Structure 1
Amino acid sequence: MEGIHLTAVIEVDQLTKAYRVKKKKQGFLGSLTSLVRAEEYEKVALESISFQVKPKERVAFIGPNGAGKSTTIKILSGILHPSNGQGHVLGYCPWKDRHKLAYHIGTVFGQKSQLWYHLPAIDTFELMSRIYEIDRADFRTRRDQLIERFELQPYLQTPVRKLSLGERMRCEIAAAMLHRPKVLFLDEPTIGLDVNAKQMIRELILELNEQEGTIVFLTSHDMGDIEQLCDRAMIINHGSIVLDEKVSNLKRYLQHKTIRLTLQDKGSSADLFDLPGVAVLAKGTQTDLRINTQVISIEDVLGYIVQRHRISDITIQDPPLEEVIAQVYAGKEARQP
């Protein structure tokens, strides 16, 4: 490998990305004018961000839509060029050494497949082994290992277009790991998956990190992904990093959770949930409760509920990511003199 050994596997310094965007004028006359001379303005996607990622870290890079998450991953994987700043992944400059870097990183985009749509996944594995120039014996060993670990055998011969989303995502991650990458970039890997599929994907990613030391760089809107997969979280908003700390510390911003109950005793009233720190959002057979975890614990609420109601189903949800970010901003403003 030509890249130098660094303490930081990923290093970003004052990275900036701006686009020139054409602005359409409103109305019929404006549309005619725009055909001749459209107004342009500069849209900043990233604004001088800096950070480092150390070996074996699992990093959540999170924020609302349009915050700059995918732009950052595309720059770090060599797909985009920045407008300014410096960056290195495994000692390589991604946008200058993209071909060399590609042999050492894997990428999974939840909304864009790298699998050939009309071919079985096994054919994509074969093709990717040629692209990455993997030794034939090593490829067969690695392929069989991933097939067993990801439980892919039942549908290896099925065209990708006929796979469920959960099955496809397992194949996507397996394909990204064929060449044993040192860094795995995951952009919304569990989007659209059901609870069971999400949990399987999370367990597989953790296993890769623990057993092979794969660095995980993850974007997600799912707080479950962040809490279970990552030990560090960076929040980006409007192209700037507003928070960078341990995921365990991030939990202080998760002051509320929502409990959704499906009651068997239809005659029960949600008014019975009379506890401090508990607000009833919806009443009826399906009841939603908002819990202030600074006032009362989830365990106390659940204990109270099961003593008084017959429950057929229950789910506990974290607040939306946008709410967490709003609380981060509120906390920063409160600490300012």
Structure 2
Amino acid sequence: MIQVQGLNKTYESFERGHTFLEALKSMVVRKKKTVEAVKNVSFQVAEGEIIGFLGPNGAGKSTTLKMLSGVLEPSGGSVRILGYVPWKERRKYVAHIGAVFGQKSQLMWDIPPLDAFYMNKEIYGIPKEPFLETLNEMTELLQVEDVIRKPTRQLSLGERMKCEFIMAMLHRPRIVFLDEPTIGLDVVAKEKIRGFIQEMNRKGVTFLLTTHDMEDVERLAKRIIVINHGDIVFDDGIDVLKQYLGAKKRVRLVTERPWDGGWSHASFTVTGVNTGGAGLELELDLGRIKLIDFLAGMEERYGIADLSMEDIPIESIIKALYGKRANPSQPDTVRP
């Protein structure tokens, strides 16, 4: 459904000095600066996928989404989505896509969401019967039957975001771009939104999701694309992503004798010690030592009173990727 090849976007900006004299000089002669927001980005998305499109602030993900939605024209490369070139065939193209931005509203502040829904019905030319069918289905799924009749200004953030999703989905788009869709929501509202996305995906809708909430990624996406400094540094399944740091585990220990740092090994790194020295947190690399050998060594030296072990959080893996640039020999993807 989405084919992106060699996508580039550059901007021109102007530098100015920090001193008063340099500021005066810049009023007459301005020094140009070229910024590469996106560099040679390539990927494909199949129908029915939910893609987590991740990156730190300033990585180029929002610029990429704007080009995919047709808001921006790229400096180079090609994009075809559903057979359309987004910025050239925008009027036809937007009838097949939806967008939800957590910090930008499509609703109108002083009127109820229901009125805004009917406005979208006319904008998209949705026939009455399909419109009512979709509206009833989505209001029931998100449990906002009474909410949609209140002025938007009276809604909570969670209620408003549910209505934003209905607004974006009324014309039954085949592809939906999501930018921080659960930002600021409580746990209950997040669960409702995630359930709605999963239900729409089961019906064939493709989602491209950008977020800093790693729980959204783990719950929704099967494939992750990580972009940094304008380059794609990872493009693969979430299971492969979790293997990026190797066979590492986070271990919490309570020892019978205080930790004194007397045992060191290349397989583990102590990340925390409580005041009494009996509680330890560490990262253990099971690729360097067998678990039974680690436990035997810890038991012999300090005694184990309690132990818990879990996978390295996905946030730590993403953070490691954020510090990585794409491999010049593999400009499209860098896989673990």
Q: Deviations over 1:149-199 (max 9, x none)?
A: 111123112222232222211111111110000001111111222222222
How many angstroms apart in 1 are the aligned matches of 2:237 and 2:45? 13
Q: 1:24 to 1:54 in 2, by over 3 A?
A: same
**149, 157, 160: which one pairs with 1:157?**
149
Partner of 2:226: 235
Question: Is structure 2 residue 237 aligned with structure 1 residue 246?
Answer: yes
Change (3 A) 1:330 1:70: closer
Indicate yes or no: 2:44 matched with 1:44: no
Q: Residue 14 of structure 1: SS of its match in structure 2?
A: strand
In structure 2, what is the equivalent of residue 325 of structure 1?
321
User: Residue deviations 1:10-67, cap 9 Å, x none?
Assistant: 0011110000111122111222222233221110011011111111111111111111
| Alignment partner of 1:132 is 2:152 | no
Q: Distance in 2 between matches of 1:33 and 1:173?
A: 49
Residue identity in the other structure for 1:182 = R
TM-score normalised by L of structure 1? 0.78
Gaps of 5+ in 1: 1-8, 261-270, 301-306, 310-315
Aligned residue for 2:33, secondary structure, equals strand
Equivalent residues in 2 for 1:38-117 (5 A)? 38-117=30-109
- 1:206 maps onto 2:202 in alignment: no
> Identity over aligned residues, as a percent?
42
CA distance in 2, matches of 1:62, 1:98: 25
Q: 1:226 aligned to 217, 225, 237, which one?
A: 217
Task: Note the residue ranges of structure 2 that are not aligned, 5 or more in a row.
Answer: 253-257, 262-266, 296-304, 329-333
User: Rg bigger for which structure?
Assistant: 2
Which among 4, 9, 30 is matched to residue 12 of structure 1? 4
Distance 1:308 1:153, change over 3 A: farther
User: What is the alpha-carbon distance in structure 1 between the residues aligned to residue 107 and residue 150 of structure 2?
Assistant: 12
CA shift for structure 1 position 323 = 1.8
CA shift for structure 1 position 320? 5.0
> Number of residues paired by the alignment?
307
Counterpart Cα distance in 1 of 2:169 and 2:273: 44
Residue 122 of structure 1 and its aligned partner are, at CA, apart by: 1.1
Structure 1 Cα separation of the partners of residues 30 and 272 of structure 2: 48
**For the structure 1 residues 98 and 328, does the alpha-carbon distance in structure 2 shift closer, same or farther, using more than 3 Å as the test?**
same
TM-score normalised according to structure 2 size: 0.79
1:118 deviates by 2.2
SS of aligned partner of 1:36: coil
Given that residues 253 and 328 in structure 1 are in contact (C-alpha distance below 8 angstroms), is that contact kept between their aligned partners in structure 2?
Answer: no
User: Any idea what SS the aligned residue of 1:103 has?
Assistant: helix
Q: Aligned partners of 2:280 and 2:94: how far apart in 1?
A: 47
